[in-house]
Amino acid sequence: SKELWALAEKTAAQIEFNVEFINGDAEKIPLDGRSADTVLVTYTLCSVAGVLPALEEIRRVLKPLGRLVFCEHGVAPDASVQRWQDRLNPIWKKISGGCNLNLPIPSLLQQSGFKIQQMDTMYLAGWKPATFNYWGTAGCA
């Protein structure tokens, strides 16, 4: 979004290293294959239309020893919370810019060819259907 882009540019201007912003879609990253050391994904996969194609594209641009650093919310481990996530997801997507409450983050990473190197999980404070988080690193399998 234009608003988030402007916020990111403002933040980047205040740090001591160069940040290059690249405009593109997650499913078609405008970088050469095997050109990135690290890809950072934060609270993005939930609203990408093609999650698996986006993750496969991330794999394409990563160098062989590159890594994906991720922080995403997704499907909760508790069956009762999962049921609420599944019930609410169709409505939630319409009112939250396409955000999915119930993405199986570890499974999606593995399906797209990543090997999870390290991962932590927990509920953050707030409304349980939207606050189960996964964060960690993954490499190309």
Mean pLDDT by 10 residues, the chain (141 residues): 90 93 92 96 94 97 97 98 98 95 98 98 97 97 76
pLDDT at 141: 76
Please report, to the nearest 10 degrees, the dihedral formed by the alpha carbons of residues 38, 42, 44, 50 taken in order.
Answer: 40
- What is the predicted pLDDT for the residue at 16? 95
Residue keyed to tokens 């190309």: 140
Q: How far apart are CA 84 and CA 67, in angstroms?
A: 33
Report the pLDDT value the prediction gives residue 1, as an integer from 0 to 100: 75
**β-bridge partners, 132:** 123
**Is this structure's pTM higher than 0.85?**
yes
* pLDDT value of position 2: 85
Q: Residue 129: count other Cβ atoms within 10 Å of its Cβ.
A: 21
Output the CA angle 88-93-94, nearest 5 degrees.
105
Query: CA-to-CA distance for 140 and 50, rounded, in angstroms?
Result: 19
